[in-house]
Amino acid sequence: MSRPTKHAPERGDARNRLLEAARDIVRKQGFAATTVDDLCKAAGVTKGAFFHHFKSKDALGVAAANFWTDTTGAFFEGAPYHAPSDPFDRVLAYIAFRRAMITNDIPEFTCLVGTLVQEVHATAPEIRDAAGVSIFGHAETLEADIAAAIEVRGISPDGWTPQSLSRHFQTVIQGGFILAKAGNDPELARDALDHLDRYVRCLFGVHAVAYSGDPR
Amino acid sequence: MSRPTKHAPERGDARNRLLEAARDIVRKQGFAATTVDDLCKAAGVTKGAFFHHFKSKDALGVAAANFWTDTTGAFFEGAPYHAPSDPFDRVLAYIAFRRAMITNDIPEFTCLVGTLVQEVHATAPEIRDAAGVSIFGHAETLEADIAAAIEVRGISPDGWTPQSLSRHFQTVIQGGFILAKAGNDPELARDALDHLDRYVRCLFGVHAVAYSGDPR
DNA sequence: CATAATACCAACTGGTTGGTATGTATATTC
DNA sequence: GAATATACATACCAACCAGTTGGTATTATG
């Protein structure tokens, strides 16, 4: 009878429920504008539970960033863009996958750690660093495919490396989120990825084709 | 004897001093984390002055975004990247200029409205829209040069337009700021612009050359 | 089964926050 | 030069905020 369900808070659940609440609310409102009470209310727990699991609001911020790293890490690891046998196709499939992830609800597809770091980069180094690990760690997962694509396609990168390109992917993704927010239009985030797709094809000397929008 | 100096507050100065304080403090701390008292203290005025000029903190946010639009608009209009006679060179000069603006102090070169919109996009539509006007309005100033460069270079854009490319410039710039913050390293913002430079040369069929880093 | 640790909850607190009420010196208008 | 409007300053407030205190129910341990 101890089946953990999503909407019936159960003993031992509070920490995770708080982290999920942080993930959802911080993306909507930002970190500073989100109160501890907001999080407790959304998680269905009291402040006692909050400060039992996190020694401060900032500590929750660090934990939320790490939670993001873990959950998105597992999500991308299991994602279908790894399937193509050609490494360059995997790189393109990553971009298509990121594009397909963009829904109509902005807080739903935007990045928690990008939002976090924008706010706290100068005031909460521990949160900033946890966000950095998340972004640069995710970028790293692309490096091997990019390096393999360079080899397979027989190109000689001039002024860029697998690392710098993998980071540029994140740059374009994060920048696309900002434009989507500023224009209140998710399509702007898709446009960013279309330009990225074009850039990558260009770097690898592959002619751009009309973009289908289908990640498969 | 009524010479307005920068550090001796004078009658009639309060509004501008508050906007300058907002520009500087919000980029460091974010909007929600910046209190009205913070702004008053930095501007050397009292709360009475604040609420005389702005009916609420959110109203100051809108005014600060508009202030940013006006001041950066004038700054870019008078910037030297407009000098080259060839429009494509002007486009490259813009990128080089943006790159040269990146100093060692992150809050100094990052974008107020990018920071603002990330925080308030879903909670303060008026601030979000003012930020949108700023970003997309600035992007628009690049469209004519891009369009002229297309003509002069005789290329046929496939799947992109002067508007979408000018917006992608802002995407890369904003994304570069986020990575710079996450890595606590301004160089990451420069790397973003190097990739953008490479992309633009590729779109126009111009071979990339070793990047000098000098905007002239 | 006793002890102890864990996982919470309800009520409280002291400092902070955005905003207000009221007063006053200066500039503008008639 | 009287009246009015502008541009502030001072003092204050109710709501809110992160964090604490002191407790209880459950689980783990020996």
Could you give the dihedral angle defined by the CA atoms of residues B117, B120, B123 and B125, in that order, rounded to the nearest 10 degrees? -40
Q: What is the reported pLDDT for B45?
A: 95
Q: What is the reported pLDDT for A8?
A: 59
Q: Which of B30, B132, B202 sits opposite A182 (nearest CB)?
A: B132
B58-203 maps to CATH 3.40.50.300: no
Cβ–Cβ below 8 Å for B106 and A117: no
The backbone region for A165, taken as left when phi is positive above 0, alpha when psi lies in -120 to 50, beta otherwise, is alpha
CA dist., res. B31 & res. A48, Å (int): 29
Decide which of A147 and B210 is more confident. A147
Q: Which nucleotides in chain D lie less than 7 Å from some protein C-beta?
A: 7-12, 16-23, 26-27
ipTM of predicted complex: 0.92
Q: What is the pLDDT of residues A181-200, one digit of tens each?
A: 999 999 999 999 999 999 99
Q: What is the reported pLDDT for B215?
A: 46
B33 CA from D5 C1′ (Å): 35
Q: What is the reported pLDDT for B211?
A: 45
Taking the CA of residue A203 and the nearest CA in chain B, the distance in Å comes to: 8
Q: What angle do CA B4, B6, B9 make, to 5 degrees?
A: 70
Q: What is the pLDDT of residues A17-44, one digit of tens each?
A: 999 999 999 999 999 999 999 999 999 9
**Residues on chain A touching B198 (C-beta within 8 angstroms):** 159-160, 199, 203
Q: A94, A160 in Cβ contact below 8 A?
A: no
Residue where the block lists tokens 């702007």: A188
Helix (H), strand (E), coil (C) string for A15-53: HHHHHHHHHHHHHHHCCCCCCHHHHHHHHCCCHHHHHHH
**Residues on chain A touching B118 (C-beta within 8 angstroms):** 30, 114-115, 118-119, 178, 181
| B36 CB neighbours strand C below 7 A | yes
Q: What is the reported pLDDT for A54?
A: 97
CATH class for the region spanning A8-54:
mainly alpha
Q: What is the pLDDT of residues A197-213, one digit of tens each?
A: 999 999 998 864 444 44
Q: What is the reported pLDDT for B12?
A: 75
**Residues on chain A touching B33 (C-beta within 8 angstroms):** 32, 119, 123
Average pLDDT score, chain A: 93
pLDDT above 50 (res A152): yes
Would you give the DSSP letter of residue A82?
A: G
Q: Which of B121, B122, B202 sits opposite A202 (nearest CB)?
A: B202
H/E element, B37:
helix B36-43
Q: What is the reported pLDDT for B10?
A: 74
Identify the residue among B178, B202, B211 best suited for mutation to test binding to A, counting A beta carbons within 10 A and taking the highest: B178
**Residues on chain A touching B173 (C-beta within 8 angstroms):** 175
Q: What is the reported pLDDT for B9?
A: 67
- Nearest one of B132, B76, B162 to A178, comparing CA atoms: B132
A28 CA from D24 C1′ (Å): 35
Q: What is the reported pLDDT for B207?
A: 61
Give strand letter and number of the nucleotide nearest A11 (CA to C1'). C7
B133 CA from D5 C1′ (Å): 33
Identify the residue among A34, A104, A118, A128 best suited for mutation to test binding to B, counting B beta carbons within 10 A and taking the highest: A118
CATH architecture for segment(s) A65-203: Orthogonal Bundle (1.10)
Domain ranges of chain A: 8-54, 65-203
Question: Mind listing the pLDDT tens digit of every residue in chain B (216 residues)?
Answer: 333 333 456 777 899 999 999 999 999 999 999 999 999 999 999 999 999 999 999 999 999 999 999 999 999 999 999 999 999 999 999 999 999 999 999 999 999 999 999 999 999 999 999 999 999 999 999 999 999 999 999 999 999 999 999 999 999 999 999 999 999 999 999 999 999 999 999 999 886 444 444 544
Q: Which of A114, A122, A199 sits opposite B178 (nearest CB)?
A: A114
Could you give the dihedral angle defined by the CA atoms of residues A20, A23, A29 and A35, in that order, rounded to the nearest 10 degrees? 50
Residues contacting B119, CB < 8 A, separation 6+: A29, A30, A32, A33, A115, A118, A119, B30, B31, B32
Residues A142-148, mean pLDDT to the nearest whole number: 98
Q: What is the pLDDT of residues A87-133, one digit of tens each?
A: 999 999 999 999 999 999 999 999 999 999 999 999 999 999 999 99
Residues contacting B6, CB < 8 A, separation 6+: none
